[in-house]
Structure 1
């Protein structure tokens, strides 16, 4: 009986406890729903909804002809929820999927990918990243057809996380100039940084709701702030000339095993930069764009500065190109320092013109010391009047500032002026030096270099940048005429004779500056060549810098000048406006057989024989030109020298095209009939990829 009562008592106690617990649950439900309902609703909304920034689409960067240099495209990170797909789909497709991932990304082999995916499934991982890089939209569409992935996100577990990233269609071309952005969408270097305020746009804000798999969906409740996309910028860069500059610079940097080099090509009249290349050697020995030496570096320019000294001398003293000075046997002592000329034994007595052409340190320094020794401030006034001592206020951030000693400062010595006159004890950027030479080519008008022409929103121009004049005239016209004559002489007879041309003339100056290490000048050199072309009617100016070349050739004439010539040759071949019309001496000889003028001998001989026209060939030849011999035709061989422009006049368009295209030349044809005019003179040097215009009549 006691046992029965004990059991009943325990059952009643358990029932009472369960009843009380049930009442507590009911009370809590009532409390949560009716008493604290608003509190929990607000908390649920705060967890399920999130106020988030909406990124604006960054603006595009264009070349001068509208080609894209940088744009924002959707890229995707590939992730995987290993718990979604059923066993049959997973087991059937995991081998193939692993193999395709390994082939596509190349960062793991098939076995490694399979192990990664299977371990994630065993652990119940809902998110693993596949591949170390983002993929583009085309790749995304391809991956969507792969095993398992083709089932989509809900049944296959594939996750494509979209992110707008910068894309450069021309890859490394002008990479440092265009610049790049970091993960926060802010510019780091180059145009991306300098024009970040225009390119970045304004981010918006919106409310997003959490949906399945942790993804967010935007809620359009009327309170969202729409993102304003960034503006586009159009640069002055010519893609073709940029390619020419970079390829030529890279080739010669490799040839001389140099530390770094840069090239800037500028349009004389406008100051528009058509190409800017900066290449330096990395730890693997490859040349890449890593630093904008052309704009940011400030170094001793060496002999290219001698032209500024020469202009100051002619303006101050009326010095003529024919005036002479004695330079001794190649050594001259200024106070406690000895200056030397490059030529052993010296140049003896030289004219000012010869001093520039031969780049005599002693001649220039002696003239400057004689004229400005007691008034160095006057020399510095000329430097300022040339626009050399002030920053250019270039459109890109990071411009190297010029440095010149002050004659009243404690670091001004008796030897400062002689050494400054030949480009030492001062610092300038290559772009600044080019701007000075561009002014000489531009009849004395110094214009600021420009690399961005306009800021646009679609077809609307928000802001346009016109050519800005720094100095209306850097010197008298007569002085400039003499200087330009001397600069032509540098190439015709002086230190840059090795780049003397035949189809057009170059004017410029070589520069070779010894580099300072631990306060002492070393046998390591900073070489350069600054100038313009064509010399008579300049359209382009250019500066080439190559730092620390190795080997036997270490001077500006041997290292930098050939790069200038190679770039100028290619630009000349590409720009048909630089070509002169054929002189009258090349006019086609009419004769009494005006139709039979020039072509392939076998074809012309066959036609003449069919028509019963007497024709003769003295020596075997493939291509011939007709001349009159009484009542018959005499065939004369047309020379087809390798690498030279053939004489195409009188040929049919078909024959001319055949000849030129076999030589790797691009041809533009206008008119009908036979070739009457050709844009390049017969016998001039042909450059593969250049353009030749043929006029048929």
Structure 2
């Protein structure tokens, strides 16, 4: 029998679809095809003079083995709400596409994963090449400013910089080689903490430039960049980080504000679990069977994680993420705006906007990443992805069906 997908478009990019033979061709259907499909059986029949089939019990037969059920960690109510607000945000910003990932930062369970464009899994006539697209796992981008907390974590952990150290911010304009780096919020001097709050490219280029290349790239690898997270969805990409022996001084400084490496949204969300989870990074999981075997690794010291969490709360309270602020809810998060590389240069019109946040900051239960590909209404994350994040959070707090996720 043909599959019928009860939740339709809301889970289309996650569950995926099968072909006419009921073999998985995308998503979980493809990745877990051997578990879902089972094994065919067989029996021998004789045909009588009238052409009718008669079972032959003298010859061997093998009963079929049914495929196994797979339970997901997805909360369908959060999935539907995330799907609604992502689609609404994409239409308002006239974006090319995007995704929302919501996960439990304590155990890695994926609570929602939405990728747009969506498709109708129950209507194969409407399918096109987008059925293979899941922005959460197979879209690569340069993270921009959302990488700054990770760079800060490395610098603080290695005692290469301190939160209160004062850096020259060059009044918002800084020349590296023949490339001028600018800050949206010009300042003459900034501490590391202030550089996160106001998202200073200039200060983070200096911090990244201080870290020995081998250490910088080794630590980025520990945070999961440059390798798959191993989530059970077909088509996951590994992204890339530079090799230490090929890294120029300029490239190293650019890494400080999120350029020169490629990541997937699921990698970025996973990296932030180390900050939300007292320095322990957890591996994202989308099936309950796999979530029983939680994989985790201590990436940074608890004190470092707590300090970074305090900084990210200030980003939301009065920094670049202030539009995220919700009275009575303590949120920690970071915005990111990155130019896309196109036709041999960084585009002035094509951008990736992202926001990663977790809440409640004092005891995080949910981490949410929102990413938009080429929004047209604004180039700033505060005007594009932040409203989507905020609407999802308000829905969680205001819905009895979703508020249990915070317990």
TM-score (norm: length of structure 1): 0.54
Deviation of the 1:350 alpha carbon: 1.3
Q: Any gaps of 5 or more consecutive residues in structure 2?
A: 120-125
465 and 481 in structure 1: CA distance in 2 versus 1, 3 angstrom threshold: closer
Deviation at 1:321, TM superposition (A): 2.3
Cross-structure match for 2:351 = 525
Query: Does structure 1 residue 404 correspond to structure 2 residue 229?
Result: no
Structure 2 residue aligned with 1:433, among 251, 268, 279?
Answer: 268
String of CA shifts for 1:563-590, please: whole Å, max 9, x gaps: 111111112223444779xxxxxxxxxx
Check conservation: 2:208, 2:255, Cα contact below 8 A.
no
Change (3 A) 1:577 1:192: closer
Q: Is the 8 A contact 1:206 1:218 kept in 2?
A: no
Which residue of the partner structure matches residue 185 of structure 1? 22
> What's the offset of the Cα at 1:506?
1.1
Aligned to 1:311: 153
Contact map agreement 1:448 1:467 (CA 8 A) in 2: no
Q: Distance in 2 between matches of 1:495 and 1:184?
A: 51
- Name the CA distance, whole Å, in 2 between partners of 1:290 and 1:258: 19
Partner of 1:335: 177
1:547 aligns with 2:373: yes
Q: Quick one: structure 1 residues 577 and 191, their matched pair in 2 at CA, closer, same or farther if it must change by over 3 Å?
A: closer
**CA distance in structure 1 between the aligned counterparts of 2:327 and 2:23, rounded to whole angstroms:** 49
| Structure 1 residue 337, shift from structure 2 partner | 1.8
CA distance in 1, matches of 2:257, 2:406: 36
C-alpha deviations, 1:444-496, integer Å up to 9, x for none? Answer: 11110000112xxxxxxxxx64243241x211222111100110011100111
Q: TM-score scaled by structure 2? A: 0.91
Question: Residue 503 of structure 1 is aligned with which of 328, 333, 355?
Answer: 328
1:412-465 per-residue CA deviation (whole Å, 9 max, x = no partner) reads 3221111111111101110010001122111111110000112xxxxxxxxx64
Partner residue of 2:57 out of 216, 221, 234: 221
- Alpha-carbon contact 2:42-2:61 (below 8 Å) kept: yes
CA contact (8 A) 1:531 1:541 kept: yes
Task: Check the 8 A contact 2:26/2:131 in 1, yes or no.
Answer: no
Structure 2 residue aligned with 1:590: none
Q: Does 1:417 align with 2:243?
A: no
Specify whether residues 520 and 218 from structure 1 end up closer, same or farther in structure 2 by C-alpha distance, changes over 3 A only: farther
Rounded Cα–Cα distance in structure 1 between residues aligned with 2:103 and 2:219: 24
| 1:89-168 alignment, distance < 5 Å | 164-168=1-5
* C-alpha RMSD over aligned residues: 2.4
Name the CA distance, whole Å, in 1 between partners of 2:339 and 2:260.
11
Determine the C-alpha separation between the residues in 2 that align with 1:191 and 1:562.
30
Q: Which has the higher contact order (CA 8 A, sep 6+)?
A: 2
Secondary structure at the aligned position of 2:2 is classed as: strand
CA distance in 1, matches of 2:9, 2:222: 39
2:76 aligns with one of 230, 233, 239: 239
Out of 30, 35, 39, the residue aligned to residue 202 of structure 1 is: 39
Task: Number of aligned residue pairs: give it.
Answer: 395
Secondary structure in structure 2 of the residue aligned to 1:443: coil
2:108 maps to which of 259, 271, 287: 271
- What SS does the corresponding residue of 1:439 show, helix, strand or coil? helix
Asked if residue 325 in structure 1 is aligned to residue 162 in structure 2, the reply is no
* Partner residue in 1 for 2:122: none
Residue 298 (structure 1) shift: 2.0
CA gap 1:415/1:192 in 2 versus in 1, 3 angstroms:
same
Matched-pair contact (CA < 8 Å) for 1:515–1:521: yes
1:353 aligned to 2:193?
A: yes
Q: 1:264/1:447 Cα in 2 relative to 1: closer, same or farther (>3 Å)?
A: same
| Structure 1 runs not aligned, ≥5 long | 1-163, 455-463, 581-697
Distance in 2 of aligned mates of 1:357 and 1:183: 53
Q: Which residue of 2 aligns with 1:250?
A: 87
Q: Which residue of 1 aligns with 2:285?
A: 450
CA deviation map 1:513-561 (0-9, x unaligned): 100111100121000001101111110011100010012x221121111
Question: 2 CA distance for matches of 1:323 and 1:289?
Answer: 49
Distance change >3 Å, CA 579–CA 478, structure 1 → 2: closer
Aligned to 1:514, which of 339, 362, 366?
A: 339
